[in-house]
């Protein structure tokens, strides 16, 4: 995997988690009281929108968006770790592990982002296999 693909995949991951958070928050506000009790709601809609913005910033080669996303996921990881020590639920364990894994992936992509900016002056890979699949079906 080259540097553009690594940064592009991290950007897609951050965008996907932002969209997922927004969808779960909308469901929590309209249908599911259980999701609302787990912390989803209007505040997490704002966090999801912020994640999406950071993901698109990473995709368009803004290194400060990568740093901000890394800080955001590290803060979320610490938050879920603290809640895990207090409540001891498997759901919090899952959220902590997911945020810690995304933080690790963001930290790994810092060097790739620097190579893209300084050495090659190229953009991250914007290729999306789902859009490619849909466009292929549309043209058939």
Tens digits of residue pLDDT in 111-136: 888 887 776 665 555 555 555 665 66
Q: Rounded CA gap, 121 and 62, in Å?
A: 12
Q: What is the pLDDT of residue 76?
A: 92
**How many separate domains does the chain show?**
1
Q: Rounded CA gap, 78 and 96, in Å?
A: 8
Task: Tell me the residue range of the domain where 108 lies.
Answer: 3-139
Q: Rounded CA gap, 67 and 54, in Å?
A: 9
Find out whether 125 and 5 touch, Cβ atoms under 8 Å.
yes
Cα torsion for 99, 101, 103, 106, to the nearest 10°?
-130
Alpha helices in 1-140 (DSSP H): 3-30, 33-37, 42-59, 63-87, 90-114, 129-139
- What is the pTM (predicted TM-score) of this model? 0.80
| pLDDT of 59 strictly over 70 | yes
């Amino acid at each position: 995997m080259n540097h553009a693909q690594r940064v592009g995949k991290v950007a897609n991951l951050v965008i996907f988690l932002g969209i997922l958070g927004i969808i779960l928050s909308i469901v929590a506000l309209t249908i599911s009281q259980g999701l609302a009790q787990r912390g989803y709601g209007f505040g997490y809609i704002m966090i999801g929108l912020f994640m999406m913005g950071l993901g698109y910033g990473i995709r368009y080669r803004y290194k400060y968006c990568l740093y901000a996303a890394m800080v955001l996921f590290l803060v979320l990881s610490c938050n879920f770790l603290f809640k895990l020590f207090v409540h001891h639920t498997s759901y919090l364990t899952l959220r902590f592990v997911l945020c810690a894994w995304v933080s690790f992936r963001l930290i790994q992509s810092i060097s790739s982002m620097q190579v893209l900016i300084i050495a090659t002056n190229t953009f991250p890979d914007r290729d999306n296999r789902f859009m490619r699949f849909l466009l292929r079906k549309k043209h058939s």
